[in-house]
Structure 1
Amino acid sequence: MKLSELEFHLEDFLLYCQSKNLSPKTLSSYEQSLKLFLACLKAEHGAEDVQRVR
């Protein structure tokens, strides 16, 4: 499955957070919240491109 540009940046951010040794609970919370946010962007605004997010 190919990641959308927004999903790619989400994964990149989560890897960055892991490199900062954030707790597993924090990482899980960030991932859940951001995935919900991305789902809202797609469903409500049709945004799949980072350039469309302001």
Structure 2
Amino acid sequence: MKQYIAANQMTLVGKAWEIRHRLKTIAKQNCRKSFKSSGTLGDYLGQLSPRER
């Protein structure tokens, strides 16, 4: 699976189960970092350092 991240977008390329798994992992990481019950993809992308993009 490949993951491309730009300023306010993320592109995931892979099989459907790989993409679902990655999105669930991102959601879990986002919930752990903040005490919000729901985080958005925009929140995740905003938290990444420029080196991770």
Structure number having the greater helix percentage: 1
As a proportion of its length, which structure holds more strand? 2
Instruction: Give TM-score scaled by structure 1 length.
Output: 0.46
